């Protein structure tokens, strides 16, 4: 168990610190999937998987991972990655950001477009939580 926790943390940390550029996303996906495999109880890798899939316009995968992240955040009531508070992680995975945009099949095409992701109207969620 401890070895799995360390492996999950190591894969996650490598993905978020050294595989952040779009041309490195294949490796980031592999690392984030490894983190999930080693520790299926953490939500944050799912948030980042959803984000990469949304950037690639892979909407079904984006919605699936965003929904899984939200379920895990609600189950635990705390963040595993303490770089952001739990509420911020939940906001990223809930309908107003990843699930909403996966359902609309949209993603910002410029960096500052990310700032407006929280300013979207409510809509029915197309993914089962």
pLDDT (tens digit per residue) in 43-53: 999 999 998 99
DSSP state of 58: -
Domain presence at residue 36: yes
Residues in the chain: 129
Q: How high is the pLDDT of residue 77?
A: 93
85 belongs to a structural domain: yes
Q: Look at residue 93 and tell me if it is in a domain.
A: yes
pLDDT over 90 at 9, yes or no:
yes
State yes or no: pLDDT of 121 exceeds 60: no
Residue 40, domain member (yes or no): yes
User: Would you say residue 123 lies in a domain?
Assistant: no
Q: How confident is the model at residue 120 (pLDDT cuts 50, 70, 90)?
A: very low
What is the structure's pLDDT at 126? 52
Tell me if 12 sits within 8 A of 32, measured CB to CB: yes
CATH code of residue 21:
1.25.40.10
The answer to whether the beta carbons of residues 108 and 117 sit under 8 Å apart is: yes
- Predicted local distance difference test score (pLDDT) of residue 11: 98
What pTM value is reported for the model?
0.77
Q: Can you give the pLDDT at residue 119?
A: 46
State how far the Cα of 56 lies from the Cα of 22, in Å rounded to an integer. 9
Range of the domain at 81: 2-116
Domain membership of residue 88 (yes or no) is yes
In a domain, 127, yes or no: no
Domain count, the chain: 1
pLDDT band at 94 (very low <50, low <70, confident <90, very high): low
Answer whether 77's CB lies under 8 Å from 43's CB. Answer: no
Confirm whether 124 is domain-assigned.
no
């Amino acid at each position: 168990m401890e070895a799995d926790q360390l492996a999950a943390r190591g894969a996650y940390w490598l993905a978020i610190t050294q595989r952040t550029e779009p041309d490195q996303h294949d490796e980031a996906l592999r690392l984030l999937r490894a983190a999930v495999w080693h520790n299926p109880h953490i939500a944050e890798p799912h948030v980042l998987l959803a984000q990469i899939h949304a950037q690639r316009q892979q909407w079904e995968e984006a919605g699936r991972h965003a929904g899984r992240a939200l379920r895990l955040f609600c189950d635990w009531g705390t963040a595993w990655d303490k770089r952001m508070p739990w509420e911020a992680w939940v906001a990223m995975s809930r309908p107003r950001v990843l699930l909403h945009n996966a359902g609309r099949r949209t993603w910002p095409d410029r960096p500052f477009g990310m700032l407006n992701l929280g300013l979207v109207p409510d809509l029915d969620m197309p993914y089962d939580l």
